[in-house]
Structure 1
Amino acid sequence: MPKVLLERKDVDVNLTWDLSTIFKTEEEFEAVVSKAQRLTEELEKEFKGKLNNSKAINSCLDKLREITQLSMLASTYAYLAVAVDQTNVENQSRQMKLSNISSDIQSKLSFVQSEIIEADEKIIEATIEESKENSGYLKDIIRQKKYALHPEVEKTLSALSGTLGAPYQIYNRAKLADMDFGTFAVDGKEYPLSFGLFEDEWEYEHDTKIRRAAFEAFSKKLREYQHTIAGAYHTQVQKEKTLATLRGFDSVIDSLLFPQEITRELYNRQIDVIMEHLAPHMRKFVKLLQKIHGIEEMTFADLKLDVDPDFEPEISVEESKKYIKGALGVLGDDYLEVIERAYNERWIDFVQNKGKSTGAFCSSPYGSHPFILISWTERMREVFVLAHELGHAGHFYLAQREQNIFDTRASQYFIEAPSTMNEMLMANYLMKTMDDPRMKRWVLSSIISRTYYHNFVTHLLEAHYQREVYKIIDEGGSVQAATLNKLKRETLEKFWGDTVKINEGAELTWMRQPHYYMGLYPYTYSAGLTIATEVSKRILTEGQDALDDWKKVLKAGGTKTPVELAQMAGVDITTDKPLLDTIAHIGSIIDEIIKLTEEIEEKQ
């Protein structure tokens, strides 16, 4: 049974991340914030109204890079402190204070982009020729020129950036600070419940009675907040629509795809092809789960069940090192250095505690090292999650070593490829080193029920639902809780057909994910995993050549478009082929799981 969550102050400090590697003291943090403010005022005084020649522009951008780095370090520090304890008033206060300061800095610096956009294109081209360091930033300016607003409007929007980000903050406060799930009872016995406990523990519970009772209690608490969260979400999408219209985009979807450097065709294909072609394979997998567990009727609350519930190995944080290093070592000594440092220098926050953000993520501030949040449950599945987050860490560690701060971040379309690639490498490693049929089946079923389910089902269904929301908003409509519940239920029913009963509470799943406050993010998980799947197959057949290509991709950071990055790795994402091949690969894994299950049952 899951343990009651401790307060942050009571957890083992050795299993928490060490934010002192960013700032050792509060005074150091405040000094960096003050320096960013001072440099901003100096830059504004020196360059405002004077960005009309290549020398001035490059000199200004050289100084802007330093301010950007200082601001990123400060905001990351403030955010990460809150992420591990949403109940800490001191951390919340620091973040909110910094948010106001950051808005003021952004407002004062907004003239840089506005003046460069207004400059003659020949001057911008000359500026690009004179500075490789600033070329990426300037090329992006040229792309944005068509959609730029008046400089004073841009300045106002920058000043309001903290306020415009409020919907996401409201969502997190409601979810992680206000929602008290208490306990739920089964046959007279009380069990603890929280957002984290449900998503990390109870969703995977093998006892159907307990699992479904947890789902019911969890859904009941979500329902109490549905109108508040729907209000925050509507504000978010309406804000995005207003900005898209102001900038002259045809739709909010086009506006959100613009920074990803991806066409509407690639976006729609990812959603439509998976909805049509993957659903039959996943329904087959769910029927196998139903048979193994002897469930009369599969419901939405049963979808996270394991193929072999009595088998999943337990694993400590210390033991995970062997698997992580064994699987990811193929990426070379510099990559292994990232892994060693991540464990030894406390880059990773492993503990579970009250107020900690759910799920897992990696934050990689330029000028520091990456930080990974995860909630370790002593289960082997966490090795895949950790490998995933180390994929982000390794990507940005290498990119930041090779590129300047303007050029490190790849398009959001590509961002999940390095992380999901590591899950593929972990599966390849385990399949190669394990002979036991049950272990092989566990590895393959983990790849389906976690890696592909998470990226090709959970997030893809988010993307399908999200697209329907934006269609309503683009047509001038609005969305309330009832509408959002209806859209989510329809999406789930379309994918699962009559194989899974979409029971009451499933429609509230839209309340569980923060991705809706991050633009068109959900669909990119399957896009990244499509690239990762095809590259991992290349690695199995071509070996070092494919690995060398992949390392070049990681080091390229944001200097290439998603299409170009995929091409560097040997994948052409301008066609249906990689996606259809990946779906066929998923189907073949499911068939192998079924075959192994039959063999294991024959021997028993």
Structure 2
Amino acid sequence: MPKVLLERKDVDEKFTWDLTAIFKTEEEFEQTVKEAQKFTAEVEDKFKGKLNTAEAINECLNRLRKVYQLTTLTGSYSYLAVAVDQTNVENQERRMKLSNISSDIESRLSFVESEIIEVSEDVIKEAIEQSVENAGYLREIMRKKEHALHPEVEKALSALSSTLNSPYQIYNRTKLADMDFGTFTVDGKEYPLSFGLFEDEWEYEHDTKIRRAAFEAFSKKLREYQHTIAGAYQTQVQKEKTMATLRGFDSVIDSLLFPQEVTRDLYNRQIDLIMEHLAPHMRKFAKLLQKIHGIEEMTFADLKLNVDPDFELEISVEESKKYIEGALSVLGDDYLEVIKRAYDERWIDFVQNKGKSTGAFCSSPYGAHPFILISWTERMREVFVLAHELGHAGHFYLAQQNQNIFDTRPSTYFVEAPSTMNEMLMANYLMKTMDNPRMKRWVLSSMISRTYYHNFVTHLLEAHYQREVYKIIDGGGSVQAATLNKLKKETLEKFWGDTVKINEGAELTWMRQPHYYMGLYPYTYSAGLTIATEVSKRVLNEGKVALDDWKEVLKAGGTKTPVELAQMAGVDITTDKPLLNTIEHIGNIIDEIISLTEEIENR
């Protein structure tokens, strides 16, 4: 049974991250904020109205990089403090105060991009020739030229950035601070419930009565807030549509794909091919779970069950090091050094506590090391989650060592490839080191139920639903709770067919993920995993050559488009082939799980 969540002040500090790696004291944080404001004023005084030569442009951008680094550090520091405890008023106040300052800085510096956009292409090209460090930033500005607004409008939008980002803040506050799930009761016994406990524990509970009771109680609380969160989401998508129209895009989808440097074809392919070709494989997997657990009618609340719930190993944070280092050591000593430092220097927040953000993420502020948030449940499945987040950490650590702050972040289309690649390496390692059929089945079923389910099912179904929302918004409509519930239910029913009953509460799944406030992000998980699956096959077949290519991709950061990065890794994502190969690979894994199940049952 899950333990009752502690207050943040009561958790074991050694399993929390150490934010003093960014700022040792509050005074140092405040001094850096002032320094950022001072640099901003200097850039504004010296360059505003004067960015009409290649020399002036590059001199300005050299200073802008420094401002970006300072604001990245202060922004990360304030955000990470809130992420581990949404109930801490002091941290919330610091975050809001900095948000207002950051909006002012952003507004005052908006002239840089606006003025450069106004100069001739010849001047921008000359500036590119003069500076390797600023070339990527300047090429992106040239790409944005046709969608730029009047400088004063850009300035106003920058000044409003904190307000414009408020739907996401409202969503998080509602979900993590206001929703009190209390407890639920089964056969006279009371069980604790929270957002984190449901998603980390109860969803995987193999006692059907308890699992379904938790789902029902969880859904009941979500339903109480559906109109508030629908209102926040409607504000978000309407804002995105307004911005798209202002910038001359026909569709909000085109507007959101533009910064990703991805065509509509690549976007639609991920959604349409997976909906059509993966669904039969996943229905087969759902039927296997139904058979193993003796469930009369498979429902949405049963889909996170383990193939072998009695076999999953318990594992401590300390014990996880052996598996993480064993699996990722193939990436070389420099990469392994990053992994060891992550443990030793408290880059990772493992604990569970009240008010902590759900799920897991990695934040990699330029000028400091990465920070990983995870809620460790002492289960082996968390090793895959940690390997995933360390994939982001290793990626940005290497990128930041090799690129300046303008060039570290690749398109979101590619950003999940390094993280899911690490999950593949973990699976490869465990399959090599284990000869027990039950252990092999556990590894393969973890790949399906965690890695592929998470990226190719959960997030893909989010993407399908999200696309339907944007079609309504593009058509001049709006989305209320009833519409969102209907769209989500239709998406789930289309994928699962008559294999899985989409029971009451499943339609509220749109309320559970923050990704809808991050543009067209959900579909990129499957895109990244498609690349990772193909590269991991190269690693198994070619060894060091493929790994060396991959390391160069990681170091390249954001200097290339997603298509170019994939090409560096030996994958051509301009065709259907990698995605269809990946779907076939998933089908083969499911067939092997079924075969191993029969072997185990016949022993």
Class of the TM-score when normalised by the shorter of the 2 chains: over 0.9
For residue 414 of structure 2, give the secondary structure of its aligned residue in structure 1.
coil
Task: Could you list the structure 1 runs, at least 4 aligned residues long, displaced by more than 2 angstroms after superposition.
Answer: none
2:333 equivalent in structure 1: 333
Residues 287-306 of structure 1: matches in 2 within 5 Å? 287-306=287-306
2:35 equivalent in structure 1: 35
1:400 equivalent in structure 2: 400
2:391 equivalent in structure 1: 391
2:356 equivalent in structure 1: 356
Pairwise CA distance, 1:205: 0.1
Instruction: Read off the aligned partner of 2:445 and give its amino acid letter.
Output: S
For residue 184 of structure 1, give the secondary structure of its aligned residue in structure 2.
strand
Residues 252-401 of structure 1: matches in 2 within 5 Å? 252-401=252-401
Instruction: Read off the aligned partner of 2:408 and give its amino acid letter.
Output: T
Q: Please list the CA deviations of residues 325-364 of structure 1 after superposition, one character each: whole Å capped at 9, or x if unmatched.
A: 0000000011001101000000000000000000000000
2:486 equivalent in structure 1: 486
For residue 405 of structure 2, give the secondary structure of its aligned residue in structure 1.
coil
Residues 419-568 of structure 1: matches in 2 within 5 Å? 419-568=419-568
Determine the C-alpha separation between the residues in 1 that align with 2:189 and 2:381: 28
1:235 aligns with 2:221: no
TM-score computed with the length of structure 1 as normaliser: 1.00
Determine the C-alpha separation between the residues in 2 that align with 1:172 and 1:323: 33
For residue 372 of structure 2, give the secondary structure of its aligned residue in structure 1.
strand
Instruction: Read off the aligned partner of 1:111 and give its amino acid letter.
Output: F
For residue 413 of structure 2, give the secondary structure of its aligned residue in structure 1.
coil
Q: Please list the CA deviations of residues 241-277 of structure 1 after superposition, one character each: whole Å capped at 9, or x if unmatched.
A: 0000000001000000000000000000000000000
Determine the C-alpha separation between the residues in 2 that align with 1:171 and 1:562: 30
Pairwise CA distance, 1:547: 0.2
Instruction: Read off the aligned partner of 2:549 and give its amino acid letter.
Output: D
Pairwise CA distance, 1:176: 0.1
For residue 283 of structure 1, give the secondary structure of its aligned residue in structure 2.
helix
For residue 602 of structure 2, give the secondary structure of its aligned residue in structure 1.
helix
Determine the C-alpha separation between the residues in 2 that align with 1:410 and 1:432: 32
For residue 407 of structure 2, give the secondary structure of its aligned residue in structure 1.
coil
Residues 20-419 of structure 1: matches in 2 within 5 Å? 20-419=20-419
Q: Please list the CA deviations of residues 410-459 of structure 1 after superposition, one character each: whole Å capped at 9, or x if unmatched.
A: 10000000000000000000000001000000000000000000000000
Q: Unaligned 5+ residue runs, structure 1?
A: none
Determine the C-alpha separation between the residues in 2 that align with 1:573 and 1:316: 39
Q: Please list the CA deviations of residues 166-191 of structure 1 after superposition, one character each: whole Å capped at 9, or x if unmatched.
A: 00000000000000000000000000
Identical columns (%): 85
Instruction: Read off the aligned partner of 1:450 and give its amino acid letter.
Output: R
Q: Please list the CA deviations of residues 126-183 of structure 1 after superposition, one character each: whole Å capped at 9, or x if unmatched.
A: 0000000000000000000000000000000000000000000000000000000000
Determine the C-alpha separation between the residues in 1 that align with 2:145 and 2:297: 56
Instruction: Read off the aligned partner of 2:557 and give its amino acid letter.
Output: G
1:3 equivalent in structure 2: 3
Pairwise CA distance, 1:393: 0.1
Determine the C-alpha separation between the residues in 2 that align with 1:297 and 1:579: 32
For residue 338 of structure 2, give the secondary structure of its aligned residue in structure 1.
helix
Pairwise CA distance, 1:86: 0.2
For residue 24 of structure 1, give the secondary structure of its aligned residue in structure 2.
coil
Determine the C-alpha separation between the residues in 1 that align with 2:336 and 2:310: 33
For residue 191 of structure 1, give the secondary structure of its aligned residue in structure 2.
strand
TM-score computed with the length of structure 2 as normaliser: 1.00
Instruction: Provide the aligned C-alpha RMSD in A.
Output: 0.2
Determine the C-alpha separation between the residues in 2 that align with 1:236 and 1:394: 32
Pairwise CA distance, 1:587: 0.2
Q: Please list the CA deviations of residues 61-97 of structure 1 after superposition, one character each: whole Å capped at 9, or x if unmatched.
A: 0000000000000000000000000000000000000
Determine the C-alpha separation between the residues in 2 that align with 1:442 and 1:42: 59
For residue 412 of structure 2, give the secondary structure of its aligned residue in structure 1.
coil
Determine the C-alpha separation between the residues in 2 that align with 1:101 and 1:308: 52
Instruction: Read off the aligned partner of 2:400 and give its amino acid letter.
Output: Q
For residue 190 of structure 1, give the secondary structure of its aligned residue in structure 2.
strand
Instruction: Read off the aligned partner of 2:390 and give its amino acid letter.
Output: L
Determine the C-alpha separation between the residues in 1 that align with 2:266 and 2:56: 39
Pairwise CA distance, 1:536: 0.1
Determine the C-alpha separation between the residues in 2 that align with 1:121 and 1:410: 24
Q: Please list the CA deviations of residues 19-42 of structure 1 after superposition, one character each: whole Å capped at 9, or x if unmatched.
A: 001001110000000000011001
Instruction: Read off the aligned partner of 1:16 and give its amino acid letter.
Output: T
Determine the C-alpha separation between the residues in 1 that align with 2:297 and 2:543: 45
Instruction: Read off the aligned partner of 1:354 and give its amino acid letter.
Output: K
Give the aligned length. 603
Determine the C-alpha separation between the residues in 1 that align with 2:478 and 2:445: 40
Q: Please list the CA deviations of residues 488-507 of structure 1 after superposition, one character each: whole Å capped at 9, or x if unmatched.
A: 00000000000000000000
Determine the C-alpha separation between the residues in 2 that align with 1:589 and 1:287: 15
Determine the C-alpha separation between the residues in 1 that align with 2:60 and 2:437: 62
Q: Please list the CA deviations of residues 38-61 of structure 1 after superposition, one character each: whole Å capped at 9, or x if unmatched.
A: 110010000000000011000000
For residue 414 of structure 1, give the secondary structure of its aligned residue in structure 2.
helix
